[in-house]
Chains A and B, each alone.
Chain A
Amino acid sequence: MKEIIKMIVVLSLLCGASGLGLSYLKISTAPLIEQQVLTYVQGPALKGVFSDAENDPIADRKKFASDGSEVTVFPAIKGGKLVGVALESFAAGYGGDIGVMVGIDTATGNLAGIGITTLKETPGLGMRTTEPAYTNQFKGLTPDQAKLASSGGKIDAISGATISSAATVNAVAQAVKTYQSLKDKILAAW
């Protein structure tokens, strides 16, 4: 009996101590980790979307509430004026969610460009959605034109990767919808 109590006490103390230590570490590293994720995951995609922005879209980001969830919006400023915003949206692809950073030209409401942030698609097929040859097709399109060619839009799907291509298009449509619902707030914020 004494042995069992000792085992319980030692194991509980050990687990409690490690839980306490880890939760403290988690809280103290959370802001650093968020910064790193933004720099290395969203950063490259943002650069592709707004190559000529004069500010740092990551440092100037703001959060907006939309339909109960939070949306992070990245602004691009040129000559002291807001020229575009980017927001990230997700849609189901072939191997999980595909994250797309969608840049929108605030003057016209057209697409400024897109960049892929996270994906787990098939190498050689779905993974090709990250290539500029594919993503550059979105540049300057109106939201209505950003559909696959098979459904009357202007985007040529990657052959053999229709699901992945459709996912990027869906993500773009979703981002545009979010942007339109938040448009007034976003334009007032910068």
Chain B
Amino acid sequence: MAGIVKEFTKGLWAEIPPFRLVLGLCPTLAVTKTASDGFGMGMAVIFVLALSNLIISAVRKIIPKKVRIACFITIAASLVVTVEMLMQAFTYPLYQSLGIFVPLIVVNCVILGRAEAFAAKNPVHLAVADGLGMGVGFTMSLTFLGAVREIFGAGSLFGHHVMWAGFEPFQFMVEAPGAFVCLGVILGAMNFLTAWQNRRKKAAGQNACLACAACALAPAAEEQQS
């Protein structure tokens, strides 16, 4: 149980896909014009990621090593086409606004990355937790980025007007360069936050017992193992 929680929560902050692993940037930059587009894209990725991790982890023992990438791609591609058809059948406006980026989930590095790095080596329940965690982290990132761009670029959030009446939207934010600038600022802020936390930890560690220094090393050692 603790394992499941750990695999799930690591995708939410410690290894949040677009901001920490810096994977899956194509949809991150392209479909975050509005918060709801980012959220919809994230939902599609959660579906594909959780199911692909589930299937890959279930069949990992019978897949020969040499053709594993082909097998992973086949599974991911089938799931993406499934999402595409379901989206067309039930949420057509979302499909229209996401456009080509739905089929492009197949080549999203997060999917193949998690399949190769995690699902192919771990039991089913952990793989599903990992997929869900990564997917939720991805959705949060996209929704957040979309919200920032929508607030400044259109003065609204999830389609509702939130800025004051005389607010002049920055057209720049909802266009491609705005996505890059936003992403850069967020990455910078996250790195700054982490550095600040580490500095604080270090300052606290000097006063505390030596055993705490070992605790700080533990995550690093664990990472090397996995």
**Interface residues in chain A, defined as those with a beta carbon under 8 Å from any beta carbon in chain B:** 3, 6-7, 10-11, 14-15, 18, 21-22, 25-26, 29, 32-33, 36-37, 39-40
Interface stretch, picked from B37-45, B68-76, B143-151, B156-164, is B68-76
Judge whether A36 and B92 touch: CB under 8 Å.
yes
Judge whether A7 and B66 touch: CB under 8 Å.
yes
Q: Among residues 41 to 69 in chain B, which have CB atoms less than 8 Å away from a CB atom of chain A?
A: 59, 62-64, 66-67
- Would you call the interface of chain A mostly helix, strand, loop, or mixed? helix
Which residue of B is nearest A35, CB measured? B89
On chain B, the residues within 8 Å of A14 by CB distance are 59, 71, 74-75
- With A29-B85, A32-B89 already in contact, the answer to whether A6 and B71 are too (CB < 8 A) is no
CA distance A62 to B59 in the complex (A): 48
CA distance A98 to B127 in the complex (A): 46
On chain B, the residues within 8 Å of A15 by CB distance are 74
**Interface residues in chain B, defined as those with a beta carbon under 8 Å from any beta carbon in chain A:** 59, 62-64, 66-67, 70-71, 74-75, 77-78, 81-82, 85-86, 88-90, 92-93, 96
On chain A, the residues within 8 Å of B59 by CB distance are 14
CB distance from B216 to the nearest CB of A (A): 44
CB distance from B73 to the nearest CB of A (A): 10
Judge whether A29 and B89 touch: CB under 8 Å.
yes
Judge whether A36 and B88 touch: CB under 8 Å.
yes
Judge whether A32 and B71 touch: CB under 8 Å.
no
Most chain A CB inside 10 Å of its own CB: which residue of B66, B74, B81, B92: B92
CA distance A32 to B91 in the complex (A): 11
Given contact pairs A3-B66, A10-B62, enumerate 8 new A-B contacts (beta carbons under 8 Å): A3-B64, A11-B67, A11-B71, A14-B59, A21-B78, A21-B82, A29-B85, A39-B92
On chain A, the residues within 8 Å of B96 by CB distance are 40
CB distance from B62 to the nearest CB of A (A): 6
Query: Which of the residues B64, B66, B86 comes within 8 Å of A29, measured between beta carbons?
Result: B86
Query: Which of the residues A10, A32, A36 comes within 8 Å of B64, measured between beta carbons?
Result: A10
A/B interface sample: 24 pairs, CB < 8 A: A3-B64, A7-B64, A7-B66, A10-B62, A10-B71, A11-B70, A11-B74, A14-B59, A14-B74, A18-B74, A18-B78, A22-B78, A22-B81, A22-B82, A26-B85, A29-B85, A29-B86, A32-B90, A36-B88, A36-B89, A36-B92, A37-B92, A40-B92, A40-B93
On chain A, the residues within 8 Å of B82 by CB distance are 21-22, 25
On chain A, the residues within 8 Å of B66 by CB distance are 3, 7
On chain A, the residues within 8 Å of B62 by CB distance are 10
On chain A, the residues within 8 Å of B88 by CB distance are 29, 33, 36-37
CB distance from B176 to the nearest CB of A (A): 14
Which residue of A is nearest B72, CB measured? A14
CA distance A15 to B81 in the complex (A): 14
On chain A, the residues within 8 Å of B86 by CB distance are 29
CA distance A29 to B84 in the complex (A): 11
Which residue of A is nearest B88, CB measured? A33
On chain A, the residues within 8 Å of B85 by CB distance are 25-26, 29, 33
CB distance from B43 to the nearest CB of A (A): 18
On chain B, the residues within 8 Å of A22 by CB distance are 78, 81-82
